[in-house]
């Protein structure tokens, strides 16, 4: 049986960082350096390593991830059995969700990184990279879309979140938990999720979408400015199950008359409600004013989905259809 070929793309992040002359750590290592540091990878697959970027993850852009999606699709079309994307953990949940939407192939796409720099005692990067490649090369991971593998946990892109700023166990999927784990060197998938509809990479990067998190006392004075600032839409992280102060509801309705507005929750987990609270500013009132419920998606992920759905001049109907599978 021929050995499987796995594409490894390094975008930068803590896993690649070493001490810099300016103090602290900064991206330094490339994909080939990372692969050479883990000799056991040679026992798993033939690894093809490239470094499209060498950036801390806050500097990654959706447009850059669209290009990464195209590189992965090209590699899959020429026979790669899976792909691993290495990047910083700050935005790994957003990158994973974008790739889950954009890459529709059956081959696994696995994101990984590290919470400790490459020269730190107990650096977790090598173990995470080995676990990610083992997952990407496995038959078990086929058909699951994009996954995130860190600290031996396997997470689905639509659920995973960074939940701690420092610990190696920083990643969680609060709504469902990990769908599997890498145990004794083998990926074990405990839950198989259905693939949801995607949005192909050839449509270009997401359009600019404003993301607003609502807090007590916020009066909505920013809302009138959004259309003038060039945003194509907005995502509002409401309180609780999707609520805002009563006086803000008409302002959001007015904004929804000019651009698609998605209603998410600022809570870490749980869906936006659609038919429980009927008071002014409750979710029934807001949906009646034209807001689109985000379902189970967090605000940052809803922002990416809305930006992709509105490409090529699409509007409210396309946005609502894009969020329907997540209700």
pLDDT of res. 199: 81
Question: 185 and 228: one domain?
Answer: no
Question: 256 and 314: one domain?
Answer: yes
In a domain, 196, yes or no: no
Please give the annotated binding residues, written as ranges. 57, 89-90
Question: 26 and 99: one domain?
Answer: yes
pLDDT of res. 198: 77
Structure tokens at 211: 């993301």
Catalytic residue among 14, 16, 112, 265: 14
Question: 227 and 146: one domain?
Answer: no
In a domain, 292, yes or no: yes
| Known catalytic residue at 135 | no
91 SS3 class: helix
Matching residue, tokens 């930006």: 307
d(CA 138, CA 106): 12
In a domain, 195, yes or no: no
In a domain, 197, yes or no: no
Question: 215 and 182: one domain?
Answer: no
pLDDT of res. 120: 87
pLDDT of res. 1: 56
CATH number at residue 54: 3.40.50.1170
> Rg of the Cα trace of the chain?
20
DSSP 295-319: TT--HHHHHHHHHHHTGGG--HHHH
pLDDT of res. 202: 80
Q: Given 189, 219, 240, which residue is the final one in a domain?
A: 189
Please give the annotated binding residues for substrate, written as ranges. 57, 89-90
Question: 183 and 212: one domain?
Answer: no
Please list the residues that pair with 9 across neighbouring strands: 50, 85
What Å distances lie between residue 195 and 101, 105, 145, 151, 326, CA to CA?
10, 11, 7, 24, 11
DSSP category for residue 107 = S
Q: Is the separation of the CB atoms in 283 and 274 below 8 Å?
A: yes
In a domain, 175, yes or no: yes
In a domain, 136, yes or no: yes
Structure tokens at 9: 């793309």
Q: Given 162, 189, 216, which residue is the final one in a domain?
A: 189
The total of structural domains in the chain comes to 2
pLDDT of res. 201: 80
Question: 238 and 316: one domain?
Answer: yes
Question: 178 and 220: one domain?
Answer: no
Question: 144 and 223: one domain?
Answer: no
Give CA 59 to chain center in angstroms: 15
Structure tokens at 157: 């892109």
Question: 244 and 160: one domain?
Answer: no
In a domain, 226, yes or no: yes
Q: What is the pLDDT along the chain (327 residues), one digit of tens a residue?
A: 578 999 999 999 999 999 988 889 988 899 999 999 999 999 999 999 999 999 999 999 999 999 999 999 999 999 999 999 999 999 999 999 999 999 999 999 999 999 998 888 989 999 999 999 999 999 999 999 999 999 999 999 999 999 999 999 999 999 999 999 999 999 999 999 998 877 878 888 999 999 999 999 999 999 999 999 999 999 999 999 999 999 999 999 999 999 999 999 999 999 999 999 999 999 999 999 999 999 999 999 999 999 999 998 889 999 999 999 999
Short-list 262, 266, 278, 202, CA closest to 238: 266
Residue 321 belongs to domain spanning: 207-326
Structure tokens at 139: 């038959």
CATH number at residue 267: 3.40.50.40
Q: Given 141, 158, 189, which residue is the final one in a domain?
A: 189
Question: 182 and 216: one domain?
Answer: no
pTM over 0.75: yes
Short-list 288, 279, 299, CA closest to 238: 299
d(CA 138, CA 156): 16
Question: 140 and 71: one domain?
Answer: yes
In a domain, 198, yes or no: no
């Amino acid at each position: 049986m021929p050995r499987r070929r796995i594409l490894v793309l390094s975008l930068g992040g803590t896993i690649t960082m070493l001490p810099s002359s300016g103090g602290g750590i900064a991206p330094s290592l490339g994909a080939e350096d990372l692969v050479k540091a883990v000799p056991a990878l040679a026992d798993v697959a033939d690894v093809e390593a490239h470094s499209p970027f060498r950036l801390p993850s806050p500097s990654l852009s959706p447009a850059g991830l669209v290009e990464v999606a195209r590189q992965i699709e090209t590699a899959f079309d020429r026979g790669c059995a899976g792909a691993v994307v290495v990047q910083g953990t700050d935005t790994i949940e957003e990158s994973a969700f974008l790739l889950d939407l954009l890459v529709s192939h059956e081959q696994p796409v696995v994101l990984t990184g590290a919470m400790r720099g490459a020269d730190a005692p107990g650096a977790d990067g090598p173990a995470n990279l080995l676990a990610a490649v083992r997952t990407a090369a496995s038959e078990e991971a086929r058909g699951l879309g994009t996954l995130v593998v860190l600290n031996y946990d396997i997470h689905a892109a639509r659920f995973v979140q960074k939940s701690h700023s420092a610990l190696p166990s920083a990643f969680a999927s609060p709504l469902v938990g990990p769908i599997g784990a890498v145990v004794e060197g083998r990926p074990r998938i405990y839950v198989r999720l259905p693939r949801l509809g995607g949005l192909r990479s050839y449509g270009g990067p997401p359009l600019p979408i404003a993301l607003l998190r609502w807090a007590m006392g916020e009066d909505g004075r920013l809302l009138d400015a959004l259309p003038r600032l060039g945003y194509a839409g907005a995502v509002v992280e409401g309180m609780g199950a999707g609520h805002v102060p009563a006086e803000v509801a008409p302002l959001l309705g007015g904004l929804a008359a000019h651009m698609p507005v998605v209603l998410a929750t600022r809570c870490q987990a749980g869906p936006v409600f659609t038919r429980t609270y009927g008071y002014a500013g409750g979710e029934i009132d807001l949906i009646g004013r034209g807001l689109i419920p985000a379902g189970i998606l967090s605000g940052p992920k809803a922002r990416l989905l809305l930006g992709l759905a509105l490409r090529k001049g699409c509007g409210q109907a396309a946005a609502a259809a894009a969020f329907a599978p997540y209700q």
